[in-house]
Amino acid sequence: MEKVTVPNIIEKKKRNEKIVMITAYDAATANVIDETGIDIILVGDSLGNVIQGLNNTLPVTMDEMVYHTKIVSRGVRNAHLCSDMPFMSYQASREDAIRNAGRFVKGGAESVKIEINENYIEAIYAIQKAGIPVMGHIGLCPQSVLLMGGYKVQGRNVREAKRLIELAKAVEHAGAYSIVLESIPWKLAKKITESIEIPTIGIGAGPHCDGQVLVINDLVGLSPEPIPKFVKRYANLREIMAKSIKEFRDEVRDGIFPSINHSYN
């Protein structure tokens, strides 16, 4: 397997090949994902929810994201490694955006992702001008949860749908190499995908995007209920972990583990 690069990812859309992206937050999990040959590993700021037990991603800091980028990068050989820029790491100024994106690259990332609205288009332009590829993220942007008043499907009315189509074009125009479409109606996601040259990567955006992303803990069934409608669990790791932990607990309590076989002479 060869290293996945930004040009490879853009090419995939032209060849009509689906792009697969999965989040990771540590080296061991990243290594398992990498060895399956998926295209992109995302160090998502979803680590706020998944790893840190927060209700939203707003408190996640640059230092935390860079730390997780560094440890994930040690488990990755071939997948492209993208890191999420956390809340307030790019909103205040172009300088912030460039410097913080640079910290990710020094930590091992090969591109950064930013949640975009009309006010931050120029952050994409500035970061990619500095030589750092940018993935945009539109639709439901979890960093705007306070403004949205919760996690709601976006682009349901005509005005909002038109706005998202224009926003996607602006993101492409500013130099992004791909765009995450989160929680929007599938017909709108299809229209956006057909309106731009760069790949769209969907999460809760239906089957017509150029690729799909899932949070690893959701995919393997580690996340507690309730899970969003768009998540498909491919395993129930929560159940498997609980079962093995209970067996260990019982064997220790009953004097079965450790046996002489697990002991040194």
User: Which residues of the shown chain bind ligand KIV in the complex (CB under 6 A)?
Assistant: 23, 42, 44-46, 84, 137, 180, 203, 213, 215
Quick count: other Cβ atoms within 10 Å of Cβ 69? 23
Quick count: other Cβ atoms within 10 Å of Cβ 218? 21
Residues 6+ apart with CB under 8 A from 154: 139, 140, 148, 160, 164, 182, 183, 184
**Per-residue DSSP letter, 51:** T
Name the packing angle between helices 158-173 and 186-195 (round to 10°): 30
CB of 50 to ligand KIV, least distance (A): 8
CB of 261 to ligand KIV, least distance (A): 42
CB of 249 to ligand KIV, least distance (A): 32
Which listed residue (182, 197, 225, 239) is catalytic? 182
Query: Which pairing describes strands 80-84 and 134-139: parallel, antiparallel, or unpaired?
Result: unpaired
CA 1 to CA 24: how far, in whole Å? 20
CA nearest 57: which of 112, 127, 114?
A: 114
**Residue closer to ligand KIV (CB basis): 233 or 257:** 233
CB of 149 to ligand KIV, least distance (A): 19
- Is-catalytic flag, 118? no
Q: Which helix (H) or strand (E) holds 94?
A: helix 94-106
Active site residues: 182
